[in-house]
Amino acid sequence: MKHLLATDGLDAETATAVLDTADELKHTLLGREVKKLPTLRGRTVITLFYENSTRTRVSFEIAGKWMSADVVNVSASSSSVNKGESLRDTALTLAAAGADCVIVRHPASGAAHRLSGWLAEAGTSVVNAGDGTHEHPTQALLDAATLRERLGSLKDRRIAIVGDVVHSRVARSNIHLLHTLGAEVVLVAPPTLLPVGVEKLPVTVSHDLDAELPAVDAVMMLRVQAERMYGGFFPSAREYSISYGLSERRQALLPDHAVVLHPGPMLRGMEIAHAVADSPASAVTEQVRNGVHVRMAVLYHLLASEGAAA
């Protein structure tokens, strides 16, 4: 693996290898007081964030540090994108400074792909930490790690992804990865929040959350951004909550073993009831914890195991 740009096209073997490595790392570090492996000593990892996301950046930063990489955080305001300060120039600067890996978060779909092209000559690896409304592959991998832990294999498991699918890079990455790993995906959302051409994706579509819940093994709630609420995508937060929120009543429809996921930050009360978010079914804190191990595994496969993992 040279880059991690998307889960679209990521094969099952590579994805499973990353998840297995994450498992191993988790067990290796379990109960250790000093969480430090020497694996990436001397390697330089740069996080380049054009959008604020403390949770994702910190997760990558910790992952790098636990593997003894030198981690440098660069944040650039997304407004500079439109002010002629070019991503390309920034990329070339980072390459010249000796970055082994650039972890990029950017408001433009495809930015990570472009970056990997500009960095090709320098041999720098690129990890997509979220590009526009395209993909967020490490989020999907950490979701898969969490589901594997709770459910065992993902094969033939049925996962509902609920909410703002059209604007969600998390949803896109999950749709592809879950499908690749053998799960069935059902998207539950109002028609305004589903992408055009959704029928071409390996999913089924529903507008009725109550009807889907009894037959799923996991529910993945998506974040609804505030601007969607006033952009006419749905009439009101109240109606959204009534139709697509995961209430306690709805949680009761789920099978006992079912897992509830949310990429955070959660809109408690609207997307998900307070009690549901904190219930034993909820794996929200495990998602965060697994995020670090999965990102360690990704960095390992990109930087430490040259030739070992495909």
Partner 1 sequence: MTLVIKGARPYGEGEPVDVLVEDGVITSIGSVKVPEGAEVLDAAGQVLLPGFVDLHTHLREPGREDTETIDSGSAAAALGGYTAVFAMANTDPVADNALVTDHVWRRGQEVGLVDVHPVGAVTVGLNGAKLAELGTMAKGTAGVRVFSDDGVCVADPLLMRRALEYSTALDAVIAQHAEEPRLTVGAQAHEGEQASRLGYPGWPASAEESIVARDCLLALHANARLHVCHVSTAGTVDVLRWAKDRGTKVSAEVTPHHLLLTDDRLDTYDPVNKVNPPLRTGRDAEKLRAALAEGVVDCVATDHAPHAPQDKDTEWNAARPGMLGLQTALSVVVETMVKTGLLDWRGVARVLSERPAEIGNLPDHGRRIAVGEPANLALVDPDAEWTVRGAELASIAANTPYEGMRLPGVVTATVLRGRITAREGKIR
Residue with tokens 């959204």: 240
Residue 196 engages partner 1 in binding (rule: CB under 8 A): yes
CA gap 61, 76 in Å, rounded:
16
Contacts with partner 1 by CB under 8 A: the residue count is: 29
Residue closer to partner 1 (CB basis): 131 or 143: 131
Residues 3 to 22 in contact with partner 1, rule: CB under 8 A:
8
Residue closer to partner 1 (CB basis): 71 or 104: 104
* 145 neighbors 171 (Cβ within 8 angstroms): no
55 has binding-site annotation: yes
33: left (phi over 0), alpha (psi -120 to 50) or beta: alpha
* 3-state SS assignment for residue 296: helix
| DSSP string of 235-280, one letter each residue | S-HHHHHHHH-B-HHHHTTS-TT-EEE--SS--BTTTB-HHHHTST
Which residue of 38, 197, 280, 307 would you call a contact of partner 1, by CB under 8 A? 197
Residue range at the interface with partner 1 (CB under 8 A); choices 100-108, 222-230, 263-271, 296-304: 100-108
Residue closer to partner 1 (CB basis): 106 or 262: 106
Whether the CA torsion 255, 177, 102, 63 is positive or negative: it is positive
Residues 107 to 166 in contact with partner 1, rule: CB under 8 A:
107-111, 113-114, 131-135, 166
Residue range at the interface with partner 1 (CB under 8 A); choices 57-65, 197-205, 256-264, 286-294: 197-205
Q: Tell me how far, at minimum, the Cβ of 144 lies from partner 1, in Å.
A: 20
Which residue of 25, 87, 101, 160 would you call a contact of partner 1, by CB under 8 A? 87
φ, ψ (nearest 5 deg) of residue 49: -115, 115
Residue 215 engages partner 1 in binding (rule: CB under 8 A): no
| DSSP string of 88-131, one letter each residue | HHHHHHHHHTT-SEEEEEESSTTHHHHHHHHTTTTT-EEEEEEE
Residue range at the interface with partner 1 (CB under 8 A); choices 22-30, 139-147, 194-202, 258-266: 194-202
* 3-state SS assignment for residue 151: helix
152 has binding-site annotation: no
CA gap 153, 182 in Å, rounded:
9
* 205 neighbors 194 (Cβ within 8 angstroms): yes
Whether the CA torsion 195, 197, 200, 205 is positive or negative: it is positive
Which residue of 25, 201, 277, 281 would you call a contact of partner 1, by CB under 8 A? 201
Residue closer to partner 1 (CB basis): 136 or 295: 136
Which residue of 29, 81, 122, 151 would you call a contact of partner 1, by CB under 8 A? 81
Tokens read off for 260: 């509830």
Residue 227 engages partner 1 in binding (rule: CB under 8 A): no
Residue 169 engages partner 1 in binding (rule: CB under 8 A): yes
Q: Tell me how far, at minimum, the Cβ of 41 lies from partner 1, in Å.
A: 33
Q: Tell me how far, at minimum, the Cβ of 107 lies from partner 1, in Å.
A: 7
Residue closer to partner 1 (CB basis): 205 or 215: 205
State the pairing for strand pair 70-75/101-106. unpaired
Q: Tell me how far, at minimum, the Cβ of 59 lies from partner 1, in Å.
A: 21
Interface positions with partner 1 (CB under 8 A) = 8, 81-82, 84, 86-88, 106-111, 113-114, 131-135, 166, 169, 172, 195-198, 200-201
